[in-house]
Chain A
Amino acid sequence: MGHLELKNLSVQFGGLKAVNNLDLSVAQGELRCLLGPNGAGKSTTLDLICGKTAATSGQILFEGRDITGLSEHRRARLGIGRKFQTPSVFKELTVLENMEIARSQNPGILASGFVFRTHIRGRLKEVLELVELKDHVHTKAGNLSHGQTQWLEIAMLLIQDAKLILMDEPTAGMTIQETRRTGEIFNSLKGHHTMIVVEHDMTFVRQIAETVTVMELGALLAQGSIEEIENDPKVRAAYLGNEVANHA
């Protein structure tokens, strides 16, 4: 029994089947990379898991519980965190305020009504140091550099302490150094958090991947270790002109 199980999951937009009878199982503490050409349904799969999009048919099981019909915030409360493709932090809020929003173990109104200040200590301090934002806590997120913004969002996921973290191209727009550093952070999270990462950057994928799943046209195409995938002829065909090879 995996930590997250997708069973026969489908979603349809108008006439288009964006995800088609997808079965997927991710184990506790695993870091799963999700690959596939544009339009393969990777982001949609993440949307389905976190609840942004409602499934047309099929089931999503998280920790053995059927969450298919739950709303986003209920799934988040169960421990599913999401990082979007374009960095989505709250630009009008400071770094510290962003972190406070993310620190959502008690997301109820009553609990929130009694929180007036954020103390920089404990786990919060650790995370801020990890992403090197400790000196910028009072900076508005809108004034951060692109890489810093990406890290802020990662930091927010860390402080949210989600059991399952869904990442959509976390290194997009990062410098090579920043990407490597991100990879290190991810590696350190393995085992504690289950992660699903959608990524194009094969260097990065090699750095972090254990198991790789490849999707095409909304369905599962191949699954296995990075080497197996890179040598799979089906995958090569799907990427028309060896996009994988180019990346590599």
Chain B
Amino acid sequence: MNRTFKTDCIGYALFAILLLVVIPWAVSFDGFALNTYARYLALGMVAMALALSWGYAGILNLGQAVPFALGAYIMAMHLKLQASAHMPGGLPDFMGWTNVEALPWFWQPFHSLPVTLIAGIAVPVALAALLAVFMFRGRITGVFVAIITLAFLVAVQLVFIEEQRYTGGQNGLTGLAPLQLLGWRVDNYSTQFYYLVAVCLMTSLAIGLALVRSKVGLVLKAIREDASRVRFFGYDVARYETLAFCTSAAIAGWAGMLYVLVLEFASPTYMGVAFSLAIVIWCAVGGRESLVAAALGGIIVNLLEGRLSDMFVDGWTFFLGALFIVVVLVAPRGLFGLVQSAVRHAGKTIRSERGGARARWLATGMGARRIDNGGR
């Protein structure tokens, strides 16, 4: 395990260099481009969060957009309250229009920034925990998890659209104030803001890596392979699955908060089926077995979407659809798997030239043994 730790560090460091140095320099610190990349990074963060539960624990969460959107709405509620300070009763404009008399209790705490920042992670986690306990205590796995989370996603979105009085309905929360962070008025086109998002991504990535490189990650991998066998070693499988699910939700909520800062509004489309499936696709394109790769997948696909729609305004989705099909057919393990097998192949050629004799000896030794076993 120690050697993997070292290579993890290399991957992490290279990713950090990409985010912190290469991208800002490549766009020569242009405000618009940094804002765009900040958006991609936030989306990469959600994709990474999904890899944590899908890639490691085999929990395909088609409702990953729920914690993301909750984080987004919570941040937006705070900013909306800031923007509504001059309104009668501090009531957000849309509430006035829908005849809400007083600020509802669940909006009250979000006057406070610390509460908002904590809730942006805690609320998605709490909801995820409820759902996780509900599912995993019942030993729900595979496609059933996918369908339950999908149905849950649709239901939550409907609630948000229906309760227009409290959530802004289909329009979501708009007309937000800029965030005041420790006296700093966050400008989402600034270099500092880009670095804020990048550092958040790197931090969440570090947390994710620590989790999957610890024994927890090992147990999760074992669960993905054979959950009942893990139980016979005394592990409470449901609890491990819940942990993965909740950590994933926490990071998604965090990413959602950043996303609102980038785009300056929260919308129920953040918890739409299309968006939620898109997260799965980013994760798959990057490679769900690696957190760094999944994050990159989120960044690359979004970048590509942006590029394609720029180059072929008519019919750019053609290329997008084709890309997904090709990735699944040619690179089932994503770009990560593709690169991995390419390098492994290259490595093998080199090795076989150097230590061919030894390899052959090993191979025949193993082969002989297998034949032995066959004839019992």
Binding site for B on A (CB under 8 A): 50-52, 71-74, 76-77, 81-82, 84, 88, 90-93, 96-97, 100-102, 104, 107-109, 111-118, 145-147, 156, 160, 173-175
Contacts and interface: CB of A to CB of B under 8 A. Distances in A.
Contacts of B221: 90, 92-93, 97
A118 to B, nearest CB: 6
Instruction: Kindly list the 10 A-B residue pairs having the minimum CB-CB distance in the complex, ordered from nearest.
Output: A76-B234, A115-B215, A112-B215, A72-B231, A77-B234, A107-B234, A146-B373, A104-B233, A117-B1, A107-B235
Q: Which of A81, A107, A111, A160 has most chain B Cβ within 10 Å? A: A107
Contacts of B218: 93, 97, 100-101, 112
B20 interface: no
13 contacts: A72-B228, A72-B232, A73-B232, A73-B236, A90-B229, A91-B225, A100-B218, A101-B233, A102-B233, A107-B234, A116-B214, A117-B1, A117-B2
Given A76-B231, A118-B1, A175 B243 contact: no
A115 B216 CA distance: 8
Given A101-B222, A117-B5, A145-B373, 17 more contacts: A73-B232, A73-B235, A88-B226, A92-B221, A93-B225, A100-B218, A101-B230, A107-B235, A109-B216, A112-B214, A112-B218, A113-B211, A114-B214, A116-B1, A116-B215, A145-B366, A160-B234
A174 to B, nearest CB: 7
Contacts of A111: 215
B293 interface: no
B15 interface: no
Contact of A76 (B214, B232, B239, B373): B232
Nearest to A78: B234
B214 A52 contact: no
Contacts of B243: 109
Contact of B226 (A77, A90, A104): A90
B369 interface: yes
Nearest to B243: A109
B237 interface: yes
Contacts of A88: 226, 229
Contacts of A175: 372-373, 376
A43 B261 CA distance: 59
- Most-contacted residue by chain B among A50, A101, A113, A146 (CB, 10 A): A101
Contacts of A97: 1, 218, 221
B359 to A, nearest CB: 14
Contacts of A115: 214-215
A82 B216 CA distance: 22
A157 to B, nearest CB: 9
Contact of A92 (B225, B239, B376): B225
B165 interface: no
A132 to B, nearest CB: 12
Contacts of A101: 218-219, 222, 230, 233, 235
B216 A73 contact: no
B216 A112 contact: yes
B370 interface: yes
B213 interface: yes
Contact of B376 (A73, A102, A117, A173): A173
B116 to A, nearest CB: 28
Contact of B236 (A90, A107, A160): A107
A103 B234 CA distance: 10
A73 B240 contact: no
A118 B234 CA distance: 19
B232 A82 contact: yes
B241 to A, nearest CB: 11
B139 to A, nearest CB: 10
A145 B369 contact: yes
Contacts of A77: 234
Given A52-B228, A109-B239, A109-B240, A90 B233 contact: no
A109 to B, nearest CB: 6
A112 B344 CA distance: 31
Contact of A73 (B1, B215, B231, B373): B231
A184 B224 CA distance: 34
Contacts of B224: 92
A188 to B, nearest CB: 22
B216 A50 contact: no
A89 to B, nearest CB: 8
Contacts of B214: 112-116
Contacts of B1: 96-97, 116-118
A96 B233 CA distance: 15
Contacts of B237: 73
Interface in B357-376: 366, 369-370, 372-373, 376
Contacts of B376: 173-175
B92 to A, nearest CB: 40
